Amino acid sequence: MRNTRVTHYEDTPRDVVATGNDYPPHYVLPSHAHKRGQLLYAATGVVTVVTGAGSWVVPPRRALWIPPGVAHEVHMSGAVSTRSAYVRPEAATAAGLPGHCRVIAVSTLLHALLMEAVDLPAEYALDGRDGRVMALLLDEIATAPALPLNTPLPRDPRLARLCRRLIEAPALDIDLDTMAHKAGMSRRSFTRLFRQQTGMSFALWRQQACLLTALTRLGRGEPVTRVAADLGYASSSAFTASFRRVLGSAPSRYLAPRD
């Protein structure tokens, strides 16, 4: 496994530095934080990132923006190859990058820039080609479209605890009334607080948790029929229709390698 430690570059006098890492299946990076913001790009494999605010799934050829100082743990599904760009807080603010985690689509240009950036010296020349590559890389990160690949966690400790368990083993048949009972709340109070703290209904949240778990399992090569059945879908076609409605394409197309 190649594993370049970003701590070597945190204080490099450049707005953006880049590293590349390879990880074996099921590798977990325990909770940690960086002084810089991080764009974590899954060149191959599927990555899941967990913070106190929620869970994000990063399929191949997508990336996750993690703001400076946000504690996060990273789970590798299958063998994973990543490229990361680390951005000084001042540069991230100037570029308009958000103060919350966000999965983004990675264009062919952004992919090429990330692959090039990891081979540049840490203290590249600011007024030459290398400096222009890094400046363009930051511009492309800032303008990349966001993708709906996160499951937010409520702030209430009772709800957060239940939701964490559900993220670990989601299923469509998990009942709202059962969740409210386990939280020690009425159905009405649970529904109101859940929407207030996550921005979505429990039914939509449950569907999102199922689809993101499906992405992780499909990325490991598990068959659609098994994943759909385990998550409680009536058929693989029903699962595929739900997947396409939320994420914009069928699972096979969504996870297909891109040139």
Contact 50, 163 (CB under 8 A): no
Distance in angstroms (rounded) separating the CA atoms of residues 43 and 191: 39
Q: Which residue carries 């390879």 as its tokens?
A: 22
> What pLDDT sits at residue 78?
85
Is residue 1 scored above 50 in pLDDT?
Answer: no
Is residue 7 scored above 70 in pLDDT?
Answer: no
Domain limits of the chain?
6-147, 153-254
Answer yes or no: CATH 2.40.420.20 is held by domain 6-147. no
User: What is the dotted CATH code of the domain comprising 153-254?
Assistant: 1.10.10.60
9-53 pLDDT, tens per residue? 788 999 999 999 999 999 999 999 999 999 999 999 999 999 999
Is residue 5 scored above 70 in pLDDT?
Answer: no
Tokens of 95: 């570029």
104-126 pLDDT, tens per residue? 999 999 999 999 999 999 999 99
Is residue 54 scored above 50 in pLDDT?
Answer: yes
> What pLDDT sits at residue 3?
55
Residue 45's SS3 state is: strand
Contact 84, 53 (CB under 8 A): no
205-247 pLDDT, tens per residue? 999 999 999 999 998 889 999 999 999 999 999 999 999 998 8
Nearest Cα to 117, choosing from 7, 19, 244?
Answer: 19
Computed from CA positions of residues 60, 245, 151, 94, in that sequence, does the dihedral angle turn out positive or negative?
positive
Nearest Cα to 104, choosing from 54, 147, 45?
Answer: 147
Contact 41, 63 (CB under 8 A): yes
Q: Model's pTM, two decimal places?
A: 0.91
